[in-house]
């Protein structure tokens, strides 16, 4: 009668003829037969990831080979080696495989795959994963406004039940300085607070690329894959930096698929929406659209005022509210620009031993803001156009079909498309609650009228001049 080693060797001969050599070496070659009891073969795998991957992709092939070697009653179970101690055997396809639990890194002494931690910090045990989160990026420091309401609320929902909501992955997009990293890390921090047992990890896309390149050079690609499969909540920042990096994309695709199948949470950020990222494989872009894509737009005046007040109060800076209101009107592109102005004000006040006055603020703003290219927002364009037509923004948001109001909306959409990087869907949502197609139609209408109506062209030119001087 054949022993467990002979049975598994027979299975491997058939399996090797039916799969690629890379897959064979990465997965099947690492499995060891433990025992054979009747028609029950027990295998030892170095990680749960290998078990899951084989069951997901090669269970039919494995079933056929076992039946060929052991007969129609053949059965299979796995024993996963983790941190030196084998887990109780897990019958194949009979009962749920434990998920969403932090897994200690296997050590060489186990006989399993060596998994190196690429985030080892001084003074931290090498088998612990530091989440790489900044405590200052908590939700309490993230001010809600129309510009971020959808993404923020989705993040709070994810923190309650990571991996369980329909927001998986959560894809956060927006221009530089609008709070993508802050929000993504806030979600991670909230998960750690509510679910301390979860393994949360924040990593920048460039850091991920460096780690992958290093793993390839050291022949540790499998270790790299296994490490990221242990994470319960993966936060990948600036995913647009993967553009053109074919090998990195292939590796991330494997990690993404396994995490998603295991109901692990994935959070991605980018300066572009998924449809606008060039250089990414279609299969990856399609997965980015599985969950929720939420765009962050430039904050309106009221939100900026709330953000700036919170920032000043938290930092303990003594500035009159009149000055904060002035800055909220002048510094409108992003929060980082405001922080830069604030730092320059503090430096000037310290070196000159003066209080921060309105004259000082105006001087700093004129030197550092007025001479830079103005960055427009949908909100400021919309208000300027409404002011030109002498109509209230509330009226323009209504469903009325009055010619003057419809024309104001169309012109605002036209300038928003040409002067901002905001998506058409977001422009429509902010101007009258319209959709992408309405914005496209509005821009075509304005272009056609500018070509055929001299008075209309002059009016649009006057509005543009007004926009660029206010």
Residue 40: name the closest of 13, 5, 14, 66 by CA.
66
Residue 118 lies in a domain: no
Q: What is the pLDDT of residues 159-186, one digit of tens each?
A: 999 998 888 999 999 888 888 999 999 9
What pLDDT shows up at residue 121?
Answer: 41
Residue 125 lies in a domain: no
Residue 398 lies in a domain: yes
pLDDT at 77 over 90: no
The CATH number of the domain holding residue 341 is: 1.10.8.60
Please indicate, yes or no, whether residues 260 and 143 belong to a single structural domain of this protein: yes
Please state whether 461 falls in left (phi above 0), alpha (psi between -120 and 50) or beta.
alpha
- Rounded to whole angstroms, the Cα distance separating 111 from 126 reads 18
Strand, helix or coil for residue 3: coil
Please indicate, yes or no, whether residues 306 and 289 belong to a single structural domain of this protein: no
Number of domains present in the structure of the chain: 4
Please indicate, yes or no, whether residues 288 and 309 belong to a single structural domain of this protein: no
What is the domain range of residue 74?
4-98
pLDDT at 241 over 50: yes
- Rounded to whole angstroms, the Cα distance separating 46 from 32 reads 9
Give CA 184 to chain center in angstroms.
7
Which residue, of 261, 278, 295, is where some domain finishes? 295
Q: Can you read off the two tokens belonging to residue 302? A: 């009221």
Please indicate, yes or no, whether residues 413 and 448 belong to a single structural domain of this protein: yes
Residue 457 lies in a domain: yes
Window from 20-34, 49-63, 75-89 with minimum mean pLDDT: 75-89
Give per-residue burial for 171-187: e unless 16+ CB within 10 Å, then b.
bbbbbebbbbbbbbbbb
Question: Is the whole model's pTM more than 0.85, yes or no?
Answer: no
Please indicate, yes or no, whether residues 159 and 226 belong to a single structural domain of this protein: yes
Please indicate, yes or no, whether residues 274 and 179 belong to a single structural domain of this protein: yes
Please indicate, yes or no, whether residues 47 and 181 belong to a single structural domain of this protein: no
What pLDDT shows up at residue 79?
Answer: 62
Reported as a pLDDT band with limits 50, 70 and 90, residue 421 is confident
> Cβ contacts of residue 450 below 8 Å, gap of 6+?
456, 457, 460
Please indicate, yes or no, whether residues 31 and 57 belong to a single structural domain of this protein: yes
Question: Per-residue pLDDT averaged across 254-270, rounded?
Answer: 92
Q: How far is CA 177 from CA 53, 160, 339, in A?
A: 39, 27, 10
Window from 186-200, 302-316, 329-343 with minimum mean pLDDT: 329-343
Q: What is the pLDDT of residues 328-349, one digit of tens each?
A: 877 766 677 777 777 777 777 7
pLDDT at 25 over 80: no
Which residue, of 368, 388, 415, is where some domain finishes? 368
Q: How far is CA 258 from CA 23, 195, 468, in A?
A: 15, 21, 50
Between 414 and 309, the more confident residue is: 414
Residue 429: name the closest of 409, 411, 446 by CA.
409
Residue 272 lies in a domain: yes
pLDDT at 202 over 90: yes
What pLDDT shows up at residue 374?
Answer: 58
Which residue, of 368, 401, 416, is where some domain finishes? 368
Place of tokens 């052991």: 70
Residue 117: name the closest of 51, 199, 58 by CA.
199
Residue 130 lies in a domain: no
Place of tokens 């590796």: 251
Within a 10 A sphere around the Cβ of 235, how many other Cβ atoms? Answer: 26
Residue 250 lies in a domain: yes
Please indicate, yes or no, whether residues 57 and 189 belong to a single structural domain of this protein: no
The CATH number of the domain holding residue 45 is: 3.30.300.180
The CATH number of the domain holding residue 237 is: 3.40.50.300
Q: What are the backbone angles phi and psi of residue 50, rounded to the nearest 5°?
A: -65, -40
Helix H or strand E segment including 200: strand 200-204
Q: Can you read off the two tokens belonging to residue 274? A: 């998924």
Contact assessment for residue 133 and residue 189, using Cβ atoms and an 8 Å cutoff: yes
The CATH number of the domain holding residue 415 is: 1.10.1750.10
Q: What is the DSSP letter of 179?
A: S
Please indicate, yes or no, whether residues 287 and 338 belong to a single structural domain of this protein: no
- % of the chain residues with pLDDT over 70: 82
Q: What is the pLDDT of residues 430-455, one digit of tens each?
A: 888 888 889 999 999 998 898 888 88
Q: What are the backbone angles phi and psi of residue 19, rounded to the nearest 5°?
A: -135, 170
Please indicate, yes or no, whether residues 410 and 271 belong to a single structural domain of this protein: no
Please indicate, yes or no, whether residues 139 and 196 belong to a single structural domain of this protein: yes
Distance spanning both ends of the chain, measured CA to CA: 89
Residue 113 lies in a domain: no
Reported as a pLDDT band with limits 50, 70 and 90, residue 415 is very high
């Amino acid at each position: 009668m054949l022993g467990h080693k002979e049975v598994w060797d027979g299975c491997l001969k058939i399996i090797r003829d039916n799969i690629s050599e890379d897959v064979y070496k990465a997965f099947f070659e690492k499995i060891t037969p433990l025992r054979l009891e009747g028609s029950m073969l027990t295998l030892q795998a170095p990680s749960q990831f290998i078990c899951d991957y084989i069951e997901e992709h090669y269970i039919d092939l494995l079933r056929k080979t076992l039946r060929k070697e052991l007969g129609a009653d053949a059965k299979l179970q796995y024993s996963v080696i983790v941190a030196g101690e084998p887990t109780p055997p897990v019958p194949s396809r009979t009962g749920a495989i434990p998920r969403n639990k932090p897994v200690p890194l296997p050590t060489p002494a186990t006989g399993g795959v060596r998994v190196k931690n690429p985030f080892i910090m001084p003074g931290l045990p090498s088998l612990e994963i530091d989440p790489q989160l900044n405590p200052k990026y908590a939700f309490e420091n993230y001010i809600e406004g129309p510009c971020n309401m959808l993404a923020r609320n989705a993040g709070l929902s994810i923190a309650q039940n990571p991996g369980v909501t329909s927001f998986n992955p959560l894809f956060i997009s927006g221009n530089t300085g609008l709070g993508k990293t802050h929000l993504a890390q806030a979600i991670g921090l909230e998960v750690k607070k509510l679910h301390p047992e979860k393994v949360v990890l924040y990593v920048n896309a460039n850091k991920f690329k460096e780690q992958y390149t290093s793993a390839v050079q050291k022949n540790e690609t499998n270790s790299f894959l296994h490490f990221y499969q242990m994470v319960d909540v993966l936060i990948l920042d600036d995913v647009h930096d993967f553009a053109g990096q074919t090998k990195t994309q292939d590796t991330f695709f494997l990690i993404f698929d396994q995490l998603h199948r295991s109901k692990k949470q994935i959070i991605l950020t980018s300066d572009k929406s998924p449809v606008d990222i060039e250089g990414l494989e279609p299969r990856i872009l399609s997965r980015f659209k599985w969950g929720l894509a939420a765009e962050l737009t430039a904050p309106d005046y009221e939100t900026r005022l709330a953000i700036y007040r919170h920032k000043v109060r938290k930092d303990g800076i003594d500035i009159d509210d009149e000055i904060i209101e002035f800055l909220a009107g002048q510094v409108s592109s992003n929060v980082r620009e405001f922080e830069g102005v604030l730092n320059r004000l503090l430096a000037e006040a310290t070196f000159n031993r003066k209080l921060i006055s309105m004259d000082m603020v105006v001087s700093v703003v004129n030197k550092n803001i007025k001479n830079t290219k103005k960055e427009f927002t949908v909100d400021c364009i919309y208000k300027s156009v409404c002011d030109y037509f002498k109509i209230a923004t509330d009226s323009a948001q209504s469903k009325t079909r009055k010619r003057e109001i419809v024309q104001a909306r169309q012109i605002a959409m036209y300038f928003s498309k040409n002067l901002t990087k905001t998506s058409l869907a977001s422009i429509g949502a902010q101007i009258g609650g319209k959709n992408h197609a309405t914005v496209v139609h509005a821009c075509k209408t304005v272009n056609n009228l500018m070509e055929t109506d001299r008075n209309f062209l002059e009016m649009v030119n006057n509005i543009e001049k007004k926009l660029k001087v206010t």
